[in-house]
Amino acid sequence: MIDKKRALLIGFFGFNVHVWFTYIDIIGGFRNFWFYPYKVFPFLPTSFALDVSFIPVSYMLVYQWTQNRQKNYYLYILILCILLAFVFKPLLTMLGLLELDRGTTYFHLFLINITVALLSKFITNIFIFFEKKPKQS
């Protein structure tokens, strides 16, 4: 489903999302803000299945769709972040795949989702700017 003409750009954006979520998930796990009872790698406090696949791919699909159709990225990523924080994460909690602790709420997860979305877009835009900037001899 990836736009092959823009695969590097979309992949770079997705890698950004992946890295930020992995770091945040590791920090949150070590600080006991949340816990994943079932993990691919039990010795790590993170859920790699989410951090390296589902979440980045979801963000990449929204990014690609908004870029290809000239839609407002911020509006559609806001909708995705709301769905992830207030529908998907509670579903994971209900299924026993995620436990929130130390006062962490779904609103906190929403703020993390939005922060990662904005930061990843900002970093991607910086690289786009440098790529388009005329070279000085």
Average pLDDT, integer, range 40-66: 81
Q: What is the pLDDT of residue 97?
A: 87
pTM for this predicted structure: 0.87
- Mutual angle of helices 55-68 and 73-83, in 10-degree steps: 150
Q: What is the pLDDT of residue 117?
A: 97
pLDDT averaged over every residue in the chain: 89
Average pLDDT, integer, range 33-56: 76
Q: What is the pLDDT of residue 45?
A: 61
Average pLDDT, integer, range 106-130: 96
Place of tokens 């070590």: 30
Task: Note the pLDDT tens digit of each residue in 66-114.
Answer: 999 999 999 999 999 999 999 999 999 999 888 999 999 999 999 999 9
Percent of the chain with pLDDT over 70: 91
pLDDT band at 131 (very low <50, low <70, confident <90, very high): confident
Higher-scoring residue by pLDDT: 5, 69: 69
Closest CA to 61 of 39, 83, 90: 83
114 φ/ψ sector (left φ>0, alpha ψ -120 to 50, else beta): alpha
For residue 109 the two structure tokens come to 């997860």
